[in-house]
Chains A and B, each alone.
Chain A
């Protein structure tokens, strides 16, 4: 009995359909990461400027996206976006917009943290040497800030990948949603099918995220070894 549940996973169109769902999951994750990390890097840089109004706005943006659960953000966007000027977006587009804004908010804090962690005197020394503002950024600030921001950014990427599992909630046919559809179609005849299928999703997400987490940990440990004696 338990074997039939596992075998079913590979029968008929089950595996191709799961892979198609996996493709949707990967596509959303890739688009969100590309847009969210770039927007977040820009906002993070803006957050180091001395403009008070800008700081209040960007900080408020970050806090709102931090305090409201992502699921709630997703539903708010899902129901509100169509009301704004009759904008009729697909579920996938709604998810991309929501996750991108959330990712950008989180990323802005990582980038801001890394930029302010570079000692001020480094940039001032650059200015004293006659480097232009662009040169200071290019040769002093970025080379030191990027390694500082990297572990946090990689961890954020794993969070984005895990967050794509929420796509199911607004009826996007992602990996989890396809999985659930297959379970609903098969589990009355094969009670162990759900176990194997959700087990497979579990492993799938793990295989995507774990190497990134290890990489982030490795970088952080290397840095620590360099800075602490």
Chain B
């Protein structure tokens, strides 16, 4: 271990750390938005749209992010759509994450007993009202553990951004290995950097899960 190498690498790792956080945050926010929309479309079987939503979830979940990124970043320019590496990365993360989030939301909605929806419908609630007053308040609570697991998953997936040369943590570590030929130092910093993000995040999400677990879903 050489401390001078670690010290010299710190600024680059610092920049990569913030970039990783920024791209992950954008991707996760987008994935939550897409996932929420897609799951509602599927849950209420919106005519015409829910088949599209199902195909999207199926395709996005069953292909690797790396291939999705190559397709977006290298494949789409062939059709005249040129996107920068960070934009491609975030879009890829949203494409992949949206499907995972949709499944987590759906899992939450399905935890609500059918009888509640039937009662709501019998009271004359419209689908919109059923969503607003019955499905969402309870379903979102039940979806929290699945959503939390996806947040962690998506942060880790940003490491794949290195293949389209986005200078995030993994890419920076590999760059520094090439620069100094000191793999142990760079790898140690890389693992520590991910731990600094993921350990507190995972702890915080567990607290959140614990908090919402006490919300009871009426039988």
Contacts and interface: CB of A to CB of B under 8 A. Distances in A.
A192 interface: yes
Contact of B58 (A70, A195, A196, A213): A213
A69 B157 contact: yes
A183 B198 CA distance: 35
Interface string A64-83: 00011111100110011001
Which of B71, B75, B76, B163 lies at the interface centre, i.e. has the most chain A CB atoms within 10 A of its CB? B75
Contacts of A168: 66, 163
B195 A67 contact: yes
Contacts of B156: 69-70
A165 interface: yes
B62 A195 contact: no
Interface string A200-228: 01100110011001000000000000000
Contacts of B12: none
Interface stretch (B26-34, B118-126, B183-191, B209-217): B183-191
A79 B195 CA distance: 19
A69 B170 contact: yes
B159 interface: yes
B173 interface: yes
A206 B199 contact: no
B187 A165 contact: no
B51 to A, nearest CB: 16
B162 interface: yes
Contact of B61 (A83, A169, A176, A213): A213
Contact of A191 (B78, B174, B194): B78
Given A67-B195, A70-B156, A202 B78 contact: no
Given A72-B170, A168-B163, A201 B184 contact: no
Which of A2, A5, A75 lies at the interface centre, i.e. has the most chain B CB atoms within 10 A of its CB? A75
B64 A195 contact: no
Interface string A4-41: 01000000000000000000000000000000000000
Contacts of A69: 156-157, 159, 170, 194
Interface in B24-76: 58-59, 61-64, 66-68, 70-71, 74-76
Contacts of B190: 72, 75
Contacts of A75: 170, 173-174, 187, 190
Interface in A163-202: 163, 165-166, 168-169, 176, 179-180, 183, 187, 191-199, 201-202
A71 B198 CA distance: 15
B78 A72 contact: no
Interface of A: 2, 5, 67-72, 75-76, 79-80, 83, 158, 162-163, 165-166, 168-169, 176, 179-180, 183, 187, 191-199, 201-202, 205-206, 209-210, 213
* 6 pairs of A and B residues whose beta carbons are closest in the complex: A195-B78, A192-B78, A209-B62, A165-B64, A79-B183, A69-B156
Given A169-B163, A194-B77, A197-B75, 18 more contacts: A67-B198, A67-B202, A80-B183, A162-B63, A166-B66, A187-B74, A193-B78, A194-B70, A194-B78, A195-B75, A196-B78, A198-B74, A198-B75, A201-B70, A202-B68, A209-B61, A209-B62, A213-B58
